[in-house]
Structure 1
Amino acid sequence: MKNILIFSRFNVLAVVMLLFAGNEIYGQYGYGGYGYGRGGYGYGRQRSGIPQAQETRKEETPKTAEEIVDAEMPSITEALQLNDFESAVLSSVLKKYVQERIEAQILKLPPEKMREVYENITKKQDEELRAGLPADKYEAFVELQKKGVAKALKEKKKQKKKRKKNKN
């Protein structure tokens, strides 16, 4: 009986040792019998038998004048504090003249001619805006064009913070 217990202890010990040694060998010397990076079990770059199709890049379609103006109008309206009528006037004028600028770009004129065309478009736009907007809003819009919309909005936020601090 003593022999059976020793023999069974030896079997248990042998099985446990084989399990640990098997895991160690498996971890060090290959993955699934195929070695490093080969076969379906290894780490490394996995390859597929199916060829991969090259994706063709979609050409970005240029934005239309309407899309450009519609994207900018909320920030312009906020910066200038325009009412609905003033916003509509400004939007329609900007759409018209942005479209003209896009058409001038398509023509690919020489630089001197392009500058002249842009100056004419800007003059007509200014005249139409001066007629359609109140004087203070027009001047604010001209100033906004010089500074940029983002900078004007930042300045407005700073002024609001200063007012709040002064009230407290």
Structure 2
Amino acid sequence: MFLFLLLGADCYAQFNRGMGMGRGMGRRTAIPQAQHAPPKEEPKTADQIVNDQMPSITQALELNDFETAIMGSILKRYVQERIEAQILKLTPEKMREVYKDISERQDEEIKSSLPPEKYDAFLKLQEEGLSKTIKKKKKEKKKKRKNEKS
């Protein structure tokens, strides 16, 4: 009887491993599963950042093709400078100073390249944000259409 219990317990432990107790069915393998780390996302380049935003900026400021090309080239240049400043890992005070200088030069170049009303719209866009400006433009168009129908 003792031998039967010993063999029964051994067989149960050997062949019934993993069954019951919410562990799932089947035998477990001794080989661990390879876990793939998610690939690190490459930081976007200045071109990618500006190209992603240009359709919205063009829509918000109502730029023509020529103005869009000028605005895109200016923004790409200054976004690249900001990225380079981040790479340098300057002190916060120095970083603020560098960003302020970049912003001032960018604004001057945009001011000289765009008509005054579009430059003012660009400044307003920077203050309010892109999504708010686009929403306001849509509301103005709806009101305009509504007034034309009346």
When the two structures are superposed, what TM-score results if normalisation uses the length of structure 2? 0.79
Question: SS in structure 2 opposite 1:131?
Answer: helix
Q: How do 1:73-92 and structure 2 match up within 5 A?
A: 73-92=54-73
The runs of at least 4 consecutive aligned structure 1 residues that moved more than 3 Å come to none
- Structure 2, gaps ≥5 residues long: 1-14
**Given the alignment of the two structures, is residue 62 of structure 1 paired with residue 43 of structure 2, yes or no?**
yes
**Given the alignment of the two structures, is residue 122 of structure 1 paired with residue 100 of structure 2, yes or no?**
no
C-alpha displacement of 1:70: 0.2
Residues 155 and 46 from structure 1, CA distance in 2 versus in 1: closer, same or farther, beyond 3 angstroms?
A: farther
Quote the Cα distance in structure 2 between the aligned partners of 1:127 and 1:78: 22
Question: SS in structure 2 opposite 1:72?
Answer: helix
2:38 maps to amino acid: R
- Structure 1, gaps ≥5 residues long: 1-33
When the two structures are superposed, what TM-score results if normalisation uses the length of structure 1? 0.71
Aligned to 1:103: 84
Quote the Cα distance in structure 2 between the aligned partners of 1:167 and 1:100: 46
For each residue in 1:12-39, what CA deviation from the matched residue of structure 2 results, as whole angstroms up to 9, or x when unmatched? xxxxxxxxxxxxxxxxxxxxxx99x729
- Which structure has the greater CA radius of gyration? 1
Quote the Cα distance in structure 2 between the aligned partners of 1:139 and 1:58: 42
Q: How do 1:1-168 and structure 2 match up within 5 A?
A: 38=19, 45-46=24-25, 49=29, 51-168=32-149
RMSD: 2.1
C-alpha displacement of 1:167: 2.6
C-alpha displacement of 1:161: 1.6
